[in-house]
Structure 1
Amino acid sequence: MASKVTPKLITCLILPSCFLILFYSSFLPFIPQSPSSKTPILPSAACNLFEGRWVLDPTRKPMYDSTCPFHRNAWNCIKNQRDNMARINSWKWMPRGCDLDRVDPAGFLDLMRNKNIGFVGDSLNENFLVSFLCVLRVGDPGAKKWKRKGAWRGAYFPKFNVTVTYHRAVLLARYEWQTKQPGLSGQDGVKGIYRVDVDIPANDWANISDFYNVLVFNTGHWWGPDKFPKETPLVFFRNGQPIHPSLELMDGLKVVVKNMVAHIEKAFPKKVLKFWRLQSPRHFHGGDWNQNGSCLFNEPLKESELDLWFDPANNGTNREARRVNEVIRDMLKGTSIRPLDLSRLSEWRADAHPAVWLGKKDAVAVWGQDCMHWCLPGVPDTWLDILAQLITYNV
């Protein structure tokens, strides 16, 4: 005969259970979560990290100084006694619709534990790397210089088993010097050529697909007549043969970027987080680097000045950045590679280049002012804050 459950017994069982559920649920928000269970707080839909304005914050200080062992001398503006460094580093980027938090070096390294980050491209990505290494070293002072075959430079953070490196590949595609070859037209006055194989990645990064969890690519600054004049031009090859008719520089850029994007999509695992950093603008005023161009500014540009400096329609000295960005954006559409559009926020900062403070007595006389790379600490530290947030949202 089945036993009967009395109403009194039901009451005795249910009421204490409800009380316990209510008690524990009220304290649940205060129970510490394990790091692996934390979910990154995503930005609001209105947040645009790449659009905004710079505001002066006198309390803002850089995270590192001239003693960082990963510095490159020409960018170590504190050591080189560049004027106005305190003010340069007092400007804070305020994105549209949200705040940009400064990276927590130890927290970011913990998030990236047992992972590797790579930069591939020209010296502006190296400029970015140095900022990255000096900031992250705050979270692991035991960081050591690191190098392996194919890597130009980098660092290992032993506390977290994280490696961050740079592979120098200024055109991304493989290129090499050759004397003039039969069958190449229009060679009058040509001393030799730089052969560019548009369908072959440079050796420096051709075999890294199994090492990195995050990669940041760039190219653009070498795609100009000052690097490859008519007497030593770029000549583009496909499948081992010269492309006919021969390509002008910007057309060559389009073909190379298209092929390198296709290679990245094919060769790198889908789980690898891939970014393509758009152009870092130059700020030469009064002429190009070899025409006494200067960037001795004490303040960022005004918004009304940006198009005057950078819109290709105005044919100014620094017009190439936006033009190159158009090519790259088009080639990235529909791919897994995310544009890292740091161009606009950097356009304002004419005040933040090494200029004449290059650390060597005759550097300006030989190379002109540096209005292309950035002082460190400086603008690339803000690039890092943005990249760190994007990585946090996506790992």
Structure 2
Amino acid sequence: MCCSFNATLMLEMLRGKRMLFVGDQLNRGQYLSLICMLHRAIPDGAKSFESVDSLSIFRAKNYDATIEFYWAPMLAETNFDNAVVDRVEDRVIRGAPMDKHSRFWKGAHILVFNSYLWWMTGQKIQILRGADNDMSKDIVEMDAEEAYRLVLYQVVRWVEHNVDPKNSRVFFVTASPTHTDSREWGDNETEGGNCYDRTSPISEAEASYSTSRRAMLRVTGEVLAESRVPVGVVNVTRLSEYRADAHTKTYKKLWAEPTPEQRADPRSYADCTHWCLPGVPDTWNELLYWKLFFPANDQVL
């Protein structure tokens, strides 16, 4: 590798540009990580942050640049885009069109998509066919992988019609793994074990496991490979699978205070999905940085 992450260089390369992350809370974690990595290179009076509904915007004023995040956990429109009122069993996804979300994506010079976690709630997904605004009509049930494929194809078609590869770049970040069952990395002695109290990465001896659904990863690769506009894949899955020690565990802010019973057994409410900052998402951003500014060195990633 020729050089490490350089915040000043990245800001200079983003001068006059709009960088947009689109996806779920893991993508938002990567977005916030990047802001943390950049903000120290910007004087206090020359930066700002605002969040309105689904869109968050960080401005580097001296560079006339914005780094933004748009909340769309499954990329397509759903009836639970407000996660606070989400009920898993009632989820319905619109297969097409994508206008509700994608109108916010237009004009971005760098697009960074992700979508995986919210597809892992079951084997079946409800899809609304057609353009009718009534979310109760023409609903079909599909296997999660095929529904995921359908939505990714919609994203690719949008990219092909709205992104000029001469002026813009598109990336897709692969699955962020969870560590909710310690048996998956060979710990068969801890009943109900998860990432709680893990203080070191998973070793090579333990590393034959995988918590990520490989069928979903295959769908991602197959669909993105067919895009007529190049989509750079930032593969964070395997390297993150080692990091059972890097989650927020009991330090995530919860909707409600843990009960006495939960506090007596911290494993019962340990967050083994989201990542600490600084932490693993910083590494994701270093990979993105390399792919964005040093694409000729992709072979070392």
TM range, normalised to the smaller chain? 0.7 to 0.9
Relative to 1, partners in 2 of residues 1:209 and 1:293: Cα closer, same or farther, differing over 3 Å? farther
Which of 205, 208, 219 is the equivalent residue of 1:307?
208
Q: Any idea what the Cα deviations from partners look like across 1:117-176, whole Å, max 9, x if unmatched?
A: 11000000000011000110011132211346751x231111212110110001111111
SS of 2:250's equivalent? coil
Q: C-alpha displacement at 1:239, in angstroms?
A: 4.5
Q: Which position in structure 2 is the counterpart of 1:214?
A: 110
Q: State the match for 1:368 in structure 2.
A: 269
- List alignment gaps of at least 5 residues for structure 2: 81-87, 185-190, 297-301
Helix, strand or coil: the match of 2:95? strand
Structure 2 residue aligned with 1:48? none
Task: Kindly indicate whether the alpha-carbon contact (under 8 Å) linking 2:232 and 2:291 is maintained by their aligned counterparts in 1.
Answer: no
Whether the aligned pair in 2 keeps the contact of 1:150 and 1:204 (CA below 8 Å) is no
Checking the alignment, whether the CA contact within 8 Å between 2:126 and 2:139 is kept in structure 1 is no
1:277 maps to 2:277: no
1:350 and 2:244 are equivalent in the alignment:
yes
Partner of 1:115: 17
TM-score, normalized by length of structure 1? 0.61
Partners of 1:218 and 1:109 lie apart in 2 by: 23
Q: 2:16 & 2:75 partners in 1: Cα distance? A: 27
For 2:64, the equivalent position in structure 1 comes to: 161
Distance 1:225 1:340 in 2: 24
Q: 1:392 aligns with which of 274, 288, 293?
A: 293
1:249 counterpart letter in structure 2 = A
Tell me which of 366, 372, 378 is aligned to 2:279: 378
Tell me the equivalent position of 1:127.
Answer: 29
Please state how far the C-alpha of 1:323 moved relative to its aligned partner.
Answer: 2.8
Identity %: 24
Amino acid at match of 2:173: R
Q: 74, 90, 96: which one pairs with 1:171? A: 74
Q: Where do residues 11-90 of structure 1 align in structure 2 (5 Å cutoff)?
A: none
Give the one of 204, 209, 216 matched to 2:101: 204
Find the partner of 1:294 among 183, 194, 212. 194
Match 2:50 to one of 146, 152, 168: 146
The 1-side partners of 2:31 and 2:89 are apart by 33
Contact 1:117 1:164 in 2 (8 A): yes
Correspondence for 1:195: 92
| Alignment-derived partner of residue 144 in structure 2 | 249
Q: Deviations over 1:250-307 (max 9, x none)?
A: 221111111222122212222210001011111122489xx95520211111223233
User: How big is the shift at 1:106?
Assistant: 1.4
Match of 2:5 in 1: 103
Contact between 1:198 and 1:236, CA under 8 Å: does it hold in 2? yes
Secondary structure at the residue paired with 1:119?
strand
In the alignment, the residues of structure 2 paired with residue 132 and residue 307 of structure 1 have an alpha-carbon distance, to the nearest angstrom, of: 31
Q: 1:306 to 1:141 in 2, by over 3 A?
A: farther
What SS does the aligned partner of 1:126 have? helix
Aligned counterparts of 2:138 and 2:232: Cα–Cα separation in 1:
31
3-state SS of 1:373 partner: strand
1:265 to 144, 160, 183: 160
Q: Which residue of 1 aligns with 2:188?
A: none
Question: Which of 216, 230, 248 is 1:324 aligned to?
Answer: 216
> RMSD of aligned C-alpha atoms?
3.0
Deviation at residue 347 of structure 1 after TM alignment: 1.4
Say which SS state the counterpart of residue 200 (structure 1) adopts. coil
Larger Rg: 1
The aligned counterpart of 1:90 is none
* Matches of 1:159 and 1:381, distance apart in 2: 24
Structure 1 contact 122–171 (Cα < 8 Å) conserved: yes
> Any idea what SS the aligned residue of 1:234 has?
strand
- 1:36 aligns with none
1:247–1:236 CA distance, 2 compared to 1 (3 A): farther
Structure 1 counterpart of 2:187: none
SS in 2 for 1:283: coil
Q: TM-score, normalised by structure 2?
A: 0.78
Say which is worse superposed, 191-200 or 298-307, in terms of deviation: 191-200
CA–CA distance in structure 1, aligned partners of residues 53 and 248 of structure 2:
31
SS of the residue corresponding to residue 350 of structure 1 reads coil
